Chains A and B, each alone.
Chain A
């Protein structure tokens, strides 16, 4: 390679490096736009709402007087609804995913089921609310209760749970499955003793992501009739006399955080707007906390899974 060639090569390399830098800057700007917008909204909400945060805010029921209004019934309601959602969505979702991935034969019927599940993830949440209204509230007669809300949201996040579980199962290399089968394991043993434990990080992540979406869903909850002004708490789970008393809370009326926020925002008094900002801040914080939990759990559990 003579000196003329090496100069030409250097020029080409310089040109390519310039494109590297340009692309990196463009990417950074695009990212910045998204993050800065979110940050701006969050900061605006925090600035408006944080002064309002004190212990009373968390422990008070809503009130017509803004200074005394609190989110107690809202956040308790949210947590109880999330509980029902999780209890319903997780087993059904995992079982469905395991069936589709490990047991079902690859034929037209399976493909149709798979396509439908993926499509369900894109259905507007109000449709779920209408479905729930017709099916759970009226046909099954479950009423406008925590149980109904939980079932509705469970349906909503079911596609997420199923898809994430399937992806986690697919991530397990075939040679691990073969190794287990070669030891004389039956299909169920392989699923229970290997596939589910190894895909737990992925499944948990999917469940938490699903729940953090569900916690902010407003439209379906409104549709099934969550009340907006609740000045009482649902009975604590399992606190009544068995057997019926244990599940009294499920059929109780309730409200959730997004609805409380919506309610306060639609009032003319600016003091309630501040309450709404404070509650929004709490809701975003809860969502971020759940996502953070998902990331941490994923990290902790992933450490031991190596192929």
Chain B
């Protein structure tokens, strides 16, 4: 029987810090002065009603906005321990994405084999040694609690897996490159409750190896899964704190109104 004693966690270490971050889509200011810490090996959740900017903020971390014209960053996001500002124009977005990976709302495995999906991030970096890739793929699939189910069919097409399995595959793909931060953009909104539960369980496990930043519109999920929670509204960061404080005794009335369902 595994031990049920939970040891106290060591004090949190800063992994990333956003400082006065503004973000513009063209002339529209989507983020207003967001300053927020992201602690290493912890799960930080971003909650808020639709249009509050939580996904926009998340996508700043892996420079996803760079794929589309008309974006402008104003402010910094520093990544530790080296302290580099990942929003700096001099910093290559590809470098950022190699340190910070992402899992999307709709499971998006490539129409390739399971093996090739997980190995993709490594191939992009130029890795081609068969045994190296096999080891990394196995480790990643184990990390995503999928190895047992797919180890005999790594050559099968990934798109034939169930929805929950596909999402776990995407998580394995994100983990294969040993990222420092994994971003989750509403990872379970397309899944049924049981698949959702297994993903949440997985997030709780992988946080020991990586830092997790998750956007969710499901407050109970944020309450279940995260250590820290940030409540955003219309581009502003309203409140940030430990999850149990936010859900038991929020400091701001706006936060309390949102989480108790006094406004949508």
Contact = CB atoms under 8 A, between A and B. Distances in A.
B170 interface: yes
A116 interface: no
Interface string B90-101: 000010011001
Contact of B97 (A175, A184, A193, A305): A184
10 interchain residue pairs of minimum CB distance:
A306-B159, A183-B121, A184-B98, A182-B102, A179-B108, A184-B97, A175-B108, A305-B111, A185-B124, A184-B124
Nearest to A183: B121
A182 B159 CA distance: 19
Interface of A: 105-106, 173, 175-186, 189, 193-194, 198, 304-307
Given A178-B67, A184-B125, A307 B111 contact: yes
Interface residues of B, number: 27
B110 A180 contact: yes
B121 A175 contact: no
B91 to A, nearest CB: 13
A185 B110 CA distance: 13
Nearest to A305: B111
Nearest to B66: A181
Contacts of A189: 124
A272 to B, nearest CB: 53
Interface in B142-181: 157, 159-160, 170, 173-174, 177
B120 interface: yes
Given A105-B69, A183-B121, A184-B177, 11 more contacts: A175-B104, A175-B106, A175-B108, A179-B110, A183-B97, A183-B173, A184-B97, A184-B98, A304-B157, A306-B157, A307-B108
B101 A183 contact: yes
A184 B177 CA distance: 10
25 contacts: A105-B69, A106-B69, A175-B104, A175-B108, A177-B67, A178-B64, A178-B108, A180-B120, A181-B64, A182-B97, A182-B101, A183-B120, A184-B94, A184-B98, A184-B121, A184-B124, A184-B177, A185-B94, A185-B124, A193-B120, A194-B110, A304-B111, A304-B157, A306-B157, A307-B111
A182 B62 contact: yes
Interface of B: 62, 64, 67, 69, 94, 97-98, 101-102, 104, 106, 108-111, 120-121, 123-125, 157, 159-160, 170, 173-174, 177
A186 B94 contact: yes
Nearest to A306: B159
Contacts of A193: 120, 123
Contact of A198 (B94, B111, B125): B111
Contacts of A307: 108, 111, 159
B120 A182 contact: no
Contacts of A183: 97, 101, 120-121, 124, 173, 177
